């Protein structure tokens, strides 16, 4: 068991760190304050391969292991969790398209998405189907050689500013559950698509969030991903990686906050000496570092399980998402506390990191749902020996 990164992995991480410092750090606060979606910066990330990190080579991607992708996402999230999180969602949707699309659809969209020239949104959640995703009602009906789509999606990242939608819709009878759901590639500007207002959010302000409505939207039949009825399985496979990605964004945010806190403790003086000399604050920093390292290693373990196709990869992904997003938020919160009143003002990055990291405990499956997934597996007879 080797915990050390290879030279190639370190090179990926170093490139991502340099990119984050040059292209994200100078602008992240402005993008947050003004709600700017930085397509130009995302395209620059695409030029480095960061928009198709684990998409298959047949779609123009790098086909990297998920573990390697976490190294890139962590470095970018240390500076700008919001923009990085969108890039991870784009990677997930691009991987799904590249893996299950027909040759014609993959050949058209794959190179555009993996290069960052075009961007993708992932459309699963509905106004009445959040944690209970299998109850979604958006419908796709095959009429001749086209699918006719009607329904609505909610809380869609990038909606209204992206170019293609990876959409889950019901092709089976009402009440057919997970087995009646299929996945589709839908051009974002197809006639019949309407976008709701841009949501005013606590964080993640560098990426727009909107509802999407579909009114008799027609797409060619070859825009189906996989086969009819496979959509929920495809969505969940996407979310295994998505949960690792979001967990990584929390690790990155925590790393950025820890670095800021350590520097601030050296610089800030109270009672005639640097606050780094106070043992109570030293202990706080020690706990933050310990929680962060534990979260990072759990994320990397889950990524390794997913890369290996392990039987319990989904369980490890749920564990990593639950632990890392909780621990990451706590580390950022403690870093803000160490900054005192300065942590609460926008001149410092702590309050932005805190707002951006909070939603990670909700999306890609709430942490309560992560506990449901873990508990179901742990109640199997072999679980105590298999999950260890």
Per-residue pLDDT, averaged over 19-35, amounts to 98
Per-residue pLDDT, averaged over 300-320, amounts to 97
Which pLDDT tens digit goes with each residue over 350-363?
999 999 999 999 99
Per-residue pLDDT, averaged over 274-289, amounts to 98
pLDDT at site 306: 97
Percent of the chain with pLDDT over 90: 97
pLDDT at site 130: 87
Helix intervals (H) in the chain: 7-19, 28-34, 39-47, 66-77, 81-100, 103-114, 231-267, 279-308, 313-338, 350-358, 367-378, 383-386
- What mean pLDDT value characterizes the chain? 97
Q: Which residue in 34, 199, 364, 368 is the catalytic one? A: 364
Which pLDDT tens digit goes with each residue over 73-117?
999 999 999 999 999 999 999 999 999 999 999 999 999 999 999
Per-residue pLDDT, averaged over 18-33, amounts to 98
Q: How far apart are the first and last CA of the chain?
A: 15
Closest C-alpha among 296, 241, 204, 246 to residue 99: 241
State yes or no: is 74 an active-site residue.
no
Band the pLDDT of 2: cuts 50, 70, 90.
confident
Which pLDDT tens digit goes with each residue over 210-226?
999 999 999 999 999 99
Could you give the 3-state DSSP secondary structure of residue 157? strand
pLDDT higher than threshold 90 for residue 263 = yes
pLDDT at site 349: 96
Band the pLDDT of 338: cuts 50, 70, 90.
very high
Q: Name every residue whose Cβ is closer than 8 Å to that of residue 82 and which is 6 or more positions away in sequence.
A: 28, 31, 32, 203, 204, 205, 206, 207, 356
Q: Strand 146-157 and strand 139-143: pairing?
A: antiparallel
Closest C-alpha among 177, 183, 173 to residue 135: 177
């Amino acid at each position: 068991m080797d915990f050390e990164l290879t030279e190639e992995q370190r090179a990926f991480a170093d490139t991502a760190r340099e990119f984050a410092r040059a292209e994200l750090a100078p602008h992240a606060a402005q993008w947050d304050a003004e709600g700017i979606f930085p397509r130009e910066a995302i395209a620059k990330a695409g030029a480095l391969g960061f928009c198709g990190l684990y998409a298959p080579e047949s779609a123009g991607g790098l086909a990297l292991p998920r573990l390697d992708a976490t190294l890139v996402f962590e470095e970018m999230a240390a500076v700008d969790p919001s923009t990085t999180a969108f890039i991870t969602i784009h990677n997930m949707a691009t991987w799904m398209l590249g893996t299950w699309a027909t040759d014609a659809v993959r050949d058209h969209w794959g190179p555009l998405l993996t290069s960052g020239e075009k961007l993708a949104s992932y459309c699963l959640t509905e106004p009445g189907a959040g944690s209970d995703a299998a109850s979604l009602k958006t419908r796709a009906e095959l009429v001749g050689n086209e699918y006719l789509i009607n329904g609505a999606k909610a809380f869609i990242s990038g909606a209204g500013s992206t170019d293609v939608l990876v959409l889950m819709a019901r092709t089976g009878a009402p009440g057919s559950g997970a087995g009646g759901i299929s996945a589709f590639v839908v051009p974002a500007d197809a006639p019949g698509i309407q976008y709701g207002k841009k949501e005013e959010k606590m964080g993640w302000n560098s990426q727009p969030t909107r509802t999407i409505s579909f009114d008799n939207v027609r797409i060619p039949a070859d825009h189906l991903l996989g086969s009819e009825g496979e959509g929920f399985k495809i969505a969940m496979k996407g979310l295994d990686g998505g949960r690792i990605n979001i967990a990584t964004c929390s690790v990155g945010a925590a790393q950025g906050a820890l670095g800021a806190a350590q520097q601030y403790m050296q610089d800030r003086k109270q009672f005639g000496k640097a606050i780094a000399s106070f043992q109570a604050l030293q202990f706080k920093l020690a706990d933050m570092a310990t929680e962060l390292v534990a979260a990072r290693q759990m994320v990397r373990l889950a990524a390794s399980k997913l890369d290996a196709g392990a039987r319990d990869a989904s369980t490890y992904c749920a564990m990593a998402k639950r632990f890392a997003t909780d621990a990451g938020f706590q580390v950022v919160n403690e870093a803000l506390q160490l900054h005192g009143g300065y942590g609460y003002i926008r001149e410092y990055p702590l309050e932005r990191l805190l707002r951006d990291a909070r939603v990670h405990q909700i999306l890609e499956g709430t942490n309560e749902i992560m506990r449901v997934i873990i508990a179901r597996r742990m109640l199997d007879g072999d679980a105590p020996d298999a999950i260890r």
